[in-house]
Structure 1
């Protein structure tokens, strides 16, 4: 088994954190599924901005949209939806083989509406209907204002990837939003066995923010803690996930799996597979850039379940970090705000680029 297969044997599904029309049309996505055992795809505004700004894969559709006098927002979503729909078709055999657990492709609501519950659920509904594939997932950010929209979407039978989770406190709210949504879905007559959800917990961004603060503190004690916050925070979250399994859900309802996102290391001094081998465990997903997938396979260092039973050690790490002066309440507030801002910036850049091509 390669390292990705080893992860699967532990209980961690590997999804690709990237998508482009070239990946689909060239057969590269299919190749990743067959040769590297990738079983899902996630996207975000930055990924589509990168994909649509290169090459000529979108030229034909863009010309058609231009002739139809489509607005720039309509054009961007039309192209994104086509990519997601086609990727869903490629991954359909995986979806069927895993009874809907994997074979998923995520598409995100407009990050500019993350503070508007009504706009978020309206767009989630529209994207779900337009992609029109049972293995799609609609990404909704875990901002305080969007939590209710997560419940709304699930209650309508929409599978949801809850994104931009940084703190354990917010994660608990996400779990509650899922539990409430799946209960409402059952009451609304939906087959809850067909509704799936993941909770995307961002990892490397936490290390970047905390490491910068530790370096600013500068003490020997502080510097020894660099590179430890991200893994410890995810392990704390995993314990919350395990504890939440005691809550009774409607018959047939699926587990909302934790998904480790932002798993490409930002610090080149850290092992490229750090956030993979240290976060392997049952009922989890790890979505990785292709470079991280390749680094994981090359390192071949999967050590089995590295999540279960690690909560006490993780809490000790957080206690040490707090002791040297890390204000985690501020850290998480900054990361959530910057997370939304980064996606908004990427989205605006994409819209500006498309506007030029549509003119």
Structure 2
């Protein structure tokens, strides 16, 4: 099967292929446009780590940094302008995709300051500011699915703003995210917004689950425990999809759908395989199901194009087998609730660290440009 055919089959199976990366170099070189044309890419996600890497590499941002330094912009304003410029320009690159898919795809995500993950009020304010600053209809504002993030998700959707809910690890939290989504659309409708204009995805993280659970299984060290390595992440995602099917087959959802609402699509995030012993496409070809998004690092995208085994639906009807995996994990001594708490805390901390690195990098560049 050719590379084009593999990605074509994935797209034809109803999976939207998004790139988990963005940089000014990628925009200026035309690489993003090439991936849209040649690799079936129909969206982009960003996060603080991606921006920290992009701004620190090369010289693509130098001219804008000099302009910001000449205006006397502080580091927070500079970071806002640098990142929103990239997202705005990427959104423009995707406008044809956005139009062709009636607003479902052609989306670019930008995340609120991760330091606000435990602050509902400031997250809402930041989401509104980012939406206005980018000023494009085909963006998502990313809000983490922390306990404090849940009401922020509802309130942001209520303002007619499209939201990418990020850092979801457990099915229990995912259910709460869907509830927050429903509540947000209900409030948006009450506020007079056209529900047809609001989109949302729920980013369910995959590979990090295997990394954390495998570490614990290796610490337990029994044959029964070691036999479960590499099982948790895909099972967790499949249970999440079962929850999605259940909750989007309710009278509450149908009342919203009757008023034009779009479902909040499950998005498989963190799909780059971290253990070299595993197939580098396992979080692609084992999570094929219509109406979902798979956001991939470029390395994973090219691996999928080269050798992913794309057949039919590999998710629907797998909930019982997936639950059996978690029953066995609990039986060998893995503390599943603690796994998810650990992953959420680490996720917030990692993005916060990357945000600090981004601020430090831009601060240094501003100082150098102004000297």
The TM-score with structure 1 as length reference comes to 0.99
Report the alpha carbon displacement of residue 26 of structure 1 after superposing the two structures with TM.
0.7
Would the aligned equivalents of 1:2 and 1:300 in 2 still touch at CA under 8 Å? no
1:157 match: 160
Q: Structure 2: how far apart are the matches of 1:56 and 1:8?
A: 35
Shift of 1:341: 0.0
What SS does the corresponding residue of 2:41 show, helix, strand or coil? coil
Q: How does 1:73-92 map to 2 (within 5 A)?
A: 73-92=76-95
Deviations 1:320-354 (A, max 9, x none): 11110110110000000000000000010111111
Q: 1:106 is matched with which residue?
A: 109
Q: Which residue of 1 aligns with 2:302?
A: 294
CA distance in 2, matches of 1:235, 1:100: 26
Residue 241 of structure 1 is matched in structure 2 by: 244
SS in 2 for 1:325: coil
What does the per-residue CA deviation read over 1:199-227, in whole Å, with 9 as the maximum and x for residues that have no partner?
00000000000000000000111101000
Q: How many Å separate the matches in 2 of 1:249 and 1:18?
A: 36
Q: Does the alignment pair 1:347 with 2:355?
A: yes
1:357 Cα offset (Å): 1.3
User: Superposed, which structure 2 residues align to 1:216-227 within 5 Å?
Assistant: 216-227=219-230
Shift of 1:282: 1.3
Q: Secondary structure at the match of 2:94?
A: helix
**Are 1:61 and 2:64 counterparts?**
yes
Matches within 5 A, 1:1-359: 2-247=5-250, 248-250=254-256, 251-359=259-367
2:281–2:308 contact (8 Å) kept in structure 1: no
Q: Does the CA-based 8 Å contact 1:52-1:58 persist in structure 2?
A: yes
Check the 8 A contact 1:258/1:285 in 2, yes or no.
yes
Change (3 A) 1:171 1:80: same
Which stretches in structure 2 are left out of the alignment for 5+ residues? Answer: none
Does the CA-based 8 Å contact 1:281-1:306 persist in structure 2? yes
Q: Distance in 2 between matches of 1:4 and 1:79?
A: 32
* Alignment root-mean-square deviation, CA: 0.7
The question of whether the paired residues in 1 share the 8 Å contact of 2:266 and 2:292 is answered with yes
User: How many Å apart are 1:2 and its aligned residue?
Assistant: 2.1
Cα deviation for residue 73 of structure 1 reads 1.0
- Equivalent-residue separation in structure 1 for 2:218 and 2:162 (angstroms): 41
Deviation at 1:249, TM superposition (A): 3.7
Q: Which aligned segments of 4 or more residues in structure 1 are displaced greater than 2 angstroms? A: 247-250
Mean alpha-carbon deviation: is it higher for 246-255 or for 219-228? 246-255
Higher alpha-carbon deviation: 271-280 or 1-10: 1-10
The Cα of 1:76 is off from its aligned counterpart by 0.8
Please tell me whether the aligned partners of residues 207 and 227 of structure 1 are also in contact (alpha carbons under 8 angstroms). Answer: yes
1:9 Cα deviation after fit: 1.3
Q: CA deviation at 1:100?
A: 0.6
- In the alignment, the residues of structure 2 paired with residue 199 and residue 10 of structure 1 have an alpha-carbon distance, to the nearest angstrom, of 19
Offset from partner CA, 1:52-108 (integer Å, 9 cap, x none): 001100000000111111111111110000000000000010000001110000000
- Structure 1 residue 300: deviation in Å? 3.6
Matched residues, number: 359
CA distance in 2, matches of 1:249, 1:41: 31
1:132 Cα offset (Å)? 0.5
Q: Which runs of 5+ in 1 are unaligned?
A: none
**Displacement after TM superposition at 1:303 (Å):** 1.7
**How far off its partner does 1:8 sit?**
1.5
**Deviation sequence 1:228-264 (CA, Å, 0-9, x none):** 1000000000000000112324210001000000000
